[in-house]
Every structure is written in structure tokens, then in C-alpha cells.
Amino acid sequence: MTAAVLMLDLAGTELSANEARLLAEEGVGGLILFSRNFESPVQLRRLIVTVRALAPNILIAVDHEGGRVQRFRQGFTLLPAMGVLAQRYARAPEAALAEALELGWLMAAELLDVGIDISFAPVLDLDYGRSRVIGDRAFGGDGATVSALAGAFVCGMAEAGMAATGKHFPGHGWAEADSHLEIPTDERDLATIEQQDMQPFVRLIDAGLAGVMPAHVIYSAVDPSPAGFSRYWLQQVLRMQLGFKGVIFSDDLSMEGAGFAGGYAARAARALEAGCDMLLVCNHPEGAQEVLDYLRAHPRVPSLAIAALRGDRRAIDQQRQVRAQALAAELRAL
């Protein structure tokens, strides 16, 4: 049996015949949605119902952090970039923590209501003012602030019924390059990374973080492979040293930062060997097919933790709807 470890994407707002065929394949275990898949909440619900009719147990995900990384907008609350919370935390920490919790709840509640299981959030990277791709996506520039605010955000997600995925382990904030376009390098030593960037991961893993996504970054003083293809980072550090027992998602294997490993079959092999439980292949149907072919030829036992990530998709009751409306109104007033 082929383990359902591939997470792929769709071209538009409706399923094509080929996409329907792929979703029914044994090797496909996840679907990630983008802005191009969205017209309205009604259309999105209809698409998700169609997907689940073909693949009832599929894990449906989205990048919906707030700020510039929010895939669905019309009909959803426009969430601020999480960096805003860091500024408030410096002035009024208790109020900022309460806002972080409510934002985590609101984000999760709105997504669960349309049938989505998880958002790949929160970002646990530190904002050093260097990374073009992280910036105000981060909850702050130091480990204590990010740990506190992201921890509150995760509590809000859990209260709504959604598991959290911390990214990008062990920290993408120092590397300047965008791993979508090139392979970033972080030249700092292990002690510095452990004392600074890894602290939010340590604290949230201790609190029960369900998922982790490693960075397509080479930490050159530690290991020659990007973290997502490194047994050292994923097995020795994440699993053994930090005791993480949840799901490890590869970052998108179609990103330039993943080209280190070769073609798509080679990327899949390297990521699985390193310790990834689910492989993302986005914006490249041919690459997704290559990974699927590789999985057919190399069956493996799937992670049991993947099933635990499926969201509580029960309709939001009236009380939760009132809370969501009130929070959305507060955000509009800011």
C-alpha cells in the first residue's frame, strides 16, 4: 500500500478531471489551497465538499497567517501581520497576549467553518530585520516575545479546534535570501541558533505543538544540507533533543531552496529519509506526479500523527458566530 504522504494543490476554483483522479490516489494525503482556489466562502465550501467526496480523509491546509500571507480575503476577516502584536507587547504585554489568543481563535474558527483542517501557522521565526521573506510575519525579534505571543495564538487555535504547525525550524529569520527563489544560508554557529532562534520551538513543543515545518535553509556551520533534508536537524535535534512527536511537513518541494536535492523524486526521497512525514509539492503538477510515482515504487508506513491534525469541522454554533463577528468588528476599528 502506498502511504498517503503527498500534499498537492489545485489550479483553480473547481476540480479538473485529472485533479479528481490524483486526489483519489493512495499516495495523496493532503491538499493545500491558495488564493487562486478562492472566489467566495460559498464557492470554497462547495469545492471542499467535492474534494472530500473523493478523498474523505484528506488533510486540507492553507497558509493563512494574516498580513501579506492570507489566502482568503473576501468574506473573511482581514487579519493584521503578527509583527503588529510585537509592538503592542512592548507597551502592554497582557493586552497583546489577549489579542494574540483571540486572533488565533478567529483565524482558526473562520477556516474550520468552511471545512479547512489547518493553517500552516504560527511563524516562529525571529525578525532580525534581515530576511526579505519573514519580516513582519514574525511575532517579534527575540525568543521570549515570539514564544509568548505565538503561544497565546496557538492556544486560541486550539480553543477553536485547530492544530498548530510551527515554522520554519530551526529559524529562517537570519538568512537574508528568499528560499522560494534561491537557497539561503545561515552561517551562525549551533550555540547561537539554539539560544535564540530555537527557543520558540522548544517552548511550544513542550506545550504540545502538533506540527513543524523545517526551513529550506543551509546552516553551514552545522550541517551541509538544508534543514528539511537533514537527518541531523530533523532526527537528532527535533525528534531526539527536543522530543517532538508530531508531524513534520516538508516546506514546498518546488521552491528553489529544495533544488539542492535534485529532481522531484530525489527531493521526495531526501526529505523522507531525513524524517519528513508529509511532502508538499505546490505549483508544479508534473513534480507532484513524479513524487507520486516515487511513492508508488517506494511504499512506506505513514505517520499516525497526521490523522490527529484533522480539524474539528463542526459548524460554528451561534455563540461562536457572535464572538467571531465581534472580533472582526474590533479589528476593523483598529
Provide the annotated active-site residues.
180, 251
* Axis crossing angle, helix 318-333 with helix 93-114, rounded to the nearest 10: 130
- Grouping H, G, I as helix, E, B as strand and the rest as coil, residue 267 is helix
* Axis crossing angle, helix 264-274 with helix 285-297, rounded to the nearest 10: 60
Give the whole-angstrom CA distance, residue 295 versus residue 291. Answer: 6
Rounded to 5 degrees, what are φ and ψ at 169? -60, 140
Residue with cell 494525503: 29
Beta-carbon contacts of 265 under 8 Å, excluding residues fewer than 6 positions away, are 290, 291, 293, 294
Residue 136 vs residues 30, 57, 193: alpha-carbon distances, Å? 28, 34, 20
DSSP string across 57-101: T-EEEE-EEETTEES--TTS--PPPTHHHHHHHHH-HHHHHHHHH
Contact 15, 24 (CB under 8 A): no
Rounded to 5 degrees, what are φ and ψ at 293? -60, -40
Q: Are strands 59-62 and 28-33 parallel, antiparallel or unpaired?
A: parallel
DSSP string across 138-187: SS-SSHHHHHHHHHHHHHHHHHHT---EEEEET--SS--S-TTTS--EE-
Contact 169, 181 (CB under 8 A): no
